[in-house]
Amino acid sequence: MTAPALWLLTGPRGAGKTLFCRRFAEHARAAGWEAAGLLSPAVFENGVKTGILAENLQTGETRPLASAASRPPFDLQLGDWFFDRAALDWGSRVLEDSLPCDLLIVDELGPLELLRAAGWASALPALRQTAYRLGLIVVRTELAANARAALPVAGTIHLDRSSAPEAEALRWWEQLSGDSPA
């Protein structure tokens, strides 16, 4: 397999990065590609973000990953969030089992992975492999330089809050995959 193209997806909180990834994966599947990796959809209660799930992109299986409240099993604090170590380990196994594939998505690499060498520990080695055609990693804007230093990044996609994630996912899918409508 030739060296894959690895792209960063950045943007502020609330810009639709996870939705972009979900739609991007749907376009890949519609084109016959195998999409794998992890998504991190938010959990909202009464309009307030209270948690984050980890979702296996291949199976749809989810695990509670983080909570805004410290309660078992959420005992690993990072900023305002408390993570479940077992869910982080599960996510690492999902990433290891995702290869080989056509599209590898990791939503997201954050301070745990890029600054502490923890979290989804298998993400960085998996992304350095050539066992996928196209990779997409979500990284907050403030950590993009760290991701570029750690990984062979081909380019950056930046979403802002005025972006339409679904339309942007289609546009970028067509550009990066070479699969544009006739």
Cβ proximity of 164 and 15 under 8 Å = no
120: in domain: yes
Q: Which of 42, 54, 152, 56 is nearest to 96 (CA)?
A: 56
Confidence of residue 182 (pLDDT cuts 50, 70, 90): very low
Residue 106, domain member (yes or no): yes
Range of the domain at 87: 5-177
CA 68 remoteness from chain centre? 20
Q: Total domain count for the chain?
A: 1
Is 78 part of a structural domain of the chain?
yes
pLDDT tens, residue by residue, 69-97 = 988 899 889 889 999 999 999 999 999 99
Give tens-digit pLDDT for 15-62.
999 999 999 999 999 999 999 999 999 999 999 999 999 999 999 999
pLDDT in tens, 114-169: 999 889 988 999 999 889 999 999 999 999 999 999 999 999 999 998 989 999 99
The model's pTM: 0.94
Q: What is the CATH number of the domain that holds 32?
A: 3.40.50.300
Would residue 182 count as lying in a domain?
no
The one-letter amino acid code at 63 reads R
Q: Specify the residue for token string 């999902």.
A: 94
Distance CA 73, CA 13 (A): 25
Neighbours of 31 (CB within 10 A): 15
